[in-house]
A and B are shown apart, each in its own frame.
Chain A
Amino acid sequence: MSFIKKPIARHPNLPKNKLGLTRRDYEGALSTLCAGCGHDSVSSAIIEACFQLSIPAHRLAKLSGIGCSSKTPTYFLNKSHGFNSVHGRMPSVATGANLANRDLYYLGVSGDGDTASIGLGQFCHIMRRRLNMVYICENNGTYGLTKGQFSATNDKESKSRKGVDNMFESIDLAALAIQLGAGFVARSFSGDKDQLIPLIRAALSYKGFAFIDVISPCVTFNNHAQSTKSYEYFREHNEAVGFLDVIPENEEISVNYGEGKSIEVNVHDGSKMVLHKLNKSYDPGSRRKAIGKINDSRDKGEIITGLIYLDQNEEDLHDTLLTTEKPLNQLKKKDLSPGLKKLRQVNKSFS
């Protein structure tokens, strides 16, 4: 942990976004995580993505559970709303918040323990419901905060730092997400910002449930030679399915990748997502193929990364429940009490 304050001095030529802000205006407190923790890189990618999207800080709520990963919202966007909830319960808090005000960006940050163990039930249901949010799982295969127990995403062949075997099969969160109705499912790596930043941007622009499983090594407990979630292992076994560009509204797509190799998707906020596939036959629009691809790669000992599945039908919980468009705190008495005439009408409909 660093004892000094992060210097306020910054590079005078830092680029500015539409709001006239620099990347550094999206920072949070200085991290207290272990030096080299992948989670810090994810925070930095989130900062960059929000900066690039010119998101006003007060339009975003960051939500988390418990864990090193769940601590990280303190380290970015210090002017945004935040809720650090109970272990594994971030989805219920997110659901409540989102139902009360659909106008904010909701960014959930969780860990593999928080998501795949104690919070697995909540995780499944939030996906079924297609809550409009971005859910990032900083996946290190371990319970970092409680000193390195195996988590449910740790691969069976991946041993502990002290050489102890892992007895159980692992949960593949990306496959689970596709299965359970998440509309945007991606996997990435904390050490690959070129891939991660566009994914976070696209996820923030997507309406519906967007899940990103980010392999984010725990340098202290799970970055050793027999781990499959170490920096080195990941780099040797990464198989990217493609890479993603997010083209802001009113901007032309400049690069052409050849027929069948790229997919363009209009996102509801006006921007375009362009997915450049590395393999022509891969179709991220099909659930079945996406899950198949995850399984195939796993069998080959590869970890697939990139945008794995995309449901272009952008729909969320509010669309299903036909809830009010206005945030609840903006509803006037008039909106809440429709008057006697309307009440009679409603009552009548039950008779």
Chain B
Amino acid sequence: MKPTKISNPEYFHKVVDCQWACPAHTPVPEYIRLIAAGRYTDAYMINWESNVFPGILGRTCDRPCEPACRRVRVEDEPVAICRLKRVAADYKGEIDHLIPKAPEQKNGKKIALLGAGPVSLAVARDLMPLGYECKIFERDPVPGGLMRTNIPSFRLPEEVLNEECDRIINMGVEVQYNKEIKSFKEFLKEDFDAVFVGTGAPKGKDLNIPGREECDKNIHIGIDFLASVAFEHVKKIGKKVIVLGGGNTAMDCCRTAIRLGGKDVRVYVRSPKVDMKASDWEIEEAEMENIPIYENHVPKEFIHENGKLKAVAFEKVKAEYKDGRRKLIPTGEPIEIVECDDVLMAIGQDNAFEWIEKDIGIEFGEWDMPIVDRTTMQSTLPKVFFGGDSAWGPENIITAVAHAHQAAISIDLFCNNKSLKKRPQPHVFLESTKMGLHEWSYDNGYAEVDRLAVPHADPKVTLADRKVEVELGYDDRMAFEEAARCLNCDVQTVFEEKRCIECDACVDICPEDCINFIQNADEQELREDIRVPALNLAQDLYVSRKLPTKRVMVKDEDLCLHCGLCAERCPTGAWDMQKFFYFGAQSHDGCKK
């Protein structure tokens, strides 16, 4: 193999598993260390800069970082990255003075943002400090998008949502509420330098099986139901409720239903439970509230009597997997009839762009979706940009934020007549953490602690009031203990071959058998030849230049604990533990150079 180019920032970035997996590349280990140090405000600000909604995300993020966390490979349970973020948000101090202000003197460019969901808000946050005039047009009377209308208050209290939305709007964003854009063609006549479409994927999927029309009164589209609850148009539901679907929306629907008076609330899923789309923790929470989930049940008919819904008829199936594809095969068992008063349908979301005329220069591709550039977020009409759920279908908040940063960069480049392809580079630096012979500026010991469970409020209280938050969050002591579980994957093992005397000290001490001195070979061979074969292909091998004995140093990054023992045992300082800081570029980096 060729020697690893550690000067390429993406090499070490990838070693920081959580940050690499986070769509917005939040510097996770950095904020976790700040939490351990009790510096909650600083921890919040690092989050706010990269992911815009730390308080909201600390409660609701889909947390792609957690399955990626190294601790999963080292033991089992990831660091509670997401819930630590909440700690920063809950315990932070005064931050108003730390928030960048929009300049009095505007730069003369006007940006329209359609929809006041997380994606538009984040674009506005990035652009306001640069002097842009941002104007949001929102159908609803309040900001937040699905975060407000669909994420239930027992997961995300209104105050948290308001605080973080207001912080952006208070930078001076103009918002026109109750304004639904019905014709884009008309809208584009207005005088805006760029337009950002952040209208989400607002249409819940329907299920056209016999009885659907007749029972319309008691069959509700999940996301519309949740929105009606949020806006307090709906305050109760029947005693027996069936929720159809296995995603997160289904989990929110069933948990909302039991809070609105549902006594016998059940979830029915077409697939086996293991294939459910909902996050494990969302399923767990529903089950903790004693909501049963029935797998392998395909709804066939809504049964009604005198024009009123009576029951749902299910066919039982079993899953067969062939060539990576799943087929649901009827088992032949008799049809199962399950009585109910109401049905909530949570079987997916679609985009709806009826309001975008097809002759205005925005091209549409597959599934009637606009063609959007994956990097620049630009549509085929140069001044129109998309992001969030409106770009490629339903995702999540953190993805919306990541889109927003890219869209803001693009809008800024666009308004300055610069090429959108020349993207600004991330901020990176690498500095030694060495403080003494065997002392580092981070805590390099391995915490033998299991993941701490987040305490919950009394279910008697939370089930009686849909606005009471279920999770209480960590207290400061728990946060400290959980923070210690982080392995500091951003403190990199940096190897300098010209200092190495090949004494083997690092090989001998390494608790995870990461380090090897062997004959060079191609990657596949090296992966097999090292002390413990490197079977996790998603993780890189760090290969040095040739050493005096003609061998090379090969380190498998997979299970490194960043414990620094290799560097402590190295007599010549050939290994050093260096903190790698990576911060993704944002719009304020775009036109500097």
Give A contacts to B, CB under 8 Å: 1-15, 24, 31, 34-38, 40-41, 43-44, 190-191, 193, 217, 219, 223, 231-232, 235
Contacts and interface: CB of A to CB of B under 8 A. Distances in A.
Given A2-B568, A5-B446, 14 more contacts: A4-B446, A5-B445, A7-B561, A8-B448, A11-B512, A24-B511, A35-B571, A38-B503, A193-B504, A219-B503, A223-B501, A231-B501, A232-B501, A235-B548
Nearest to A2: B568
A235 B547 CA distance: 13
Nearest to B438: A2
Given A9-B512, A190-B504, A4 B563 contact: yes
B569 interface: yes
Interface in B564-583: 564-565, 568-572
Interface residues of B, number: 35
Contact of A40 (B74, B75, B505, B511): B505
Nearest to A27: B511
A34 B571 contact: yes
Contact of B446 (A8, A44, A193): A8
B513 interface: yes
A294 B73 CA distance: 50
B502 A231 contact: yes
A4 B502 CA distance: 24
A229 to B, nearest CB: 13
Nearest to A236: B548
A232 B568 CA distance: 21
A7 B74 CA distance: 11
Nearest to B565: A2
Contacts of A41: 503-505, 508
A9 B74 contact: yes
B513 A14 contact: yes
B307 interface: no
By CB atoms of chain B within 10 A, which of A2, A44, A193, A232 has the most?
A2
Contacts of A191: 502-504
A9 B446 contact: yes
A36 B572 contact: yes
B458 to A, nearest CB: 37
B535 interface: yes
A35 B511 CA distance: 16
B74 to A, nearest CB: 5
A191 B502 CA distance: 7
Contacts of B565: 2, 4, 6-7
Contact of B505 (A12, A15, A36, A235): A36
A41 B570 CA distance: 12
Contacts of B549: 235
Contacts of A9: 74-75, 446, 511-512, 559, 561
B460 to A, nearest CB: 41
A25 to B, nearest CB: 13
Contacts, number: 98
12 contacts: A2-B438, A4-B563, A7-B511, A9-B446, A11-B532, A12-B559, A13-B535, A36-B572, A41-B503, A41-B505, A219-B503, A232-B501
B533 interface: yes
Contacts of A5: 445-446
B503 A217 contact: yes
B198 to A, nearest CB: 43
A231 B503 contact: yes
B493 to A, nearest CB: 14
B445 A40 contact: no
A15 B559 CA distance: 16
Given A6-B511, A7-B511, A9-B511, A44 B504 contact: yes
Interface in B519-569: 532-533, 535, 548-549, 559, 561, 563-565, 568-569
B581 to A, nearest CB: 23
Contact of A36 (B73, B439, B444, B501): B501
A126 B450 CA distance: 52
By CB atoms of chain B within 10 A, which of A36, A37, A232 has the most?
A36
B509 interface: yes
Given A6-B565, A41-B503, A1 B438 contact: yes
B563 A7 contact: yes
A11 B505 contact: no
Contacts of A7: 445-446, 511-512, 561, 563, 565
A36 B446 contact: no
A14 B73 CA distance: 14
Contact of B571 (A1, A12, A36): A36
- Minimum-distance CB pairs A-B, first 4: A36-B571, A7-B446, A44-B508, A4-B445
A43 B569 contact: no
B501 A11 contact: no
A219 B571 contact: yes
A36 B438 contact: no
A8 B535 CA distance: 21
Contacts of A14: 513, 532
B587 to A, nearest CB: 41
Contacts of B502: 191, 231
A37 B559 CA distance: 26
A5 to B, nearest CB: 7
B533 A10 contact: no
Given A11-B513, A11-B559, A14-B513, A36 B532 contact: no
Interface string B484-504: 000000000000000001111
Contacts of B75: 9
Given A9-B511, A11-B532, A40-B569, A3 B504 contact: no
B204 to A, nearest CB: 43
Contacts of B501: 36, 223, 231-232
By CB atoms of chain B within 10 A, which of A12, A24, A35, A193 has the most?
A35
A216 B445 CA distance: 29
A173 B445 CA distance: 42
A6 B509 contact: yes
B501 to A, nearest CB: 5
A137 to B, nearest CB: 19
Given A4-B565, A7-B563, A14-B513, A35 B533 contact: no
Contacts of B438: 1-3
Interface in B441-486: 444-446, 448
By CB atoms of chain A within 10 A, which of B501, B502, B508, B548 has the most?
B508
Nearest to B563: A7
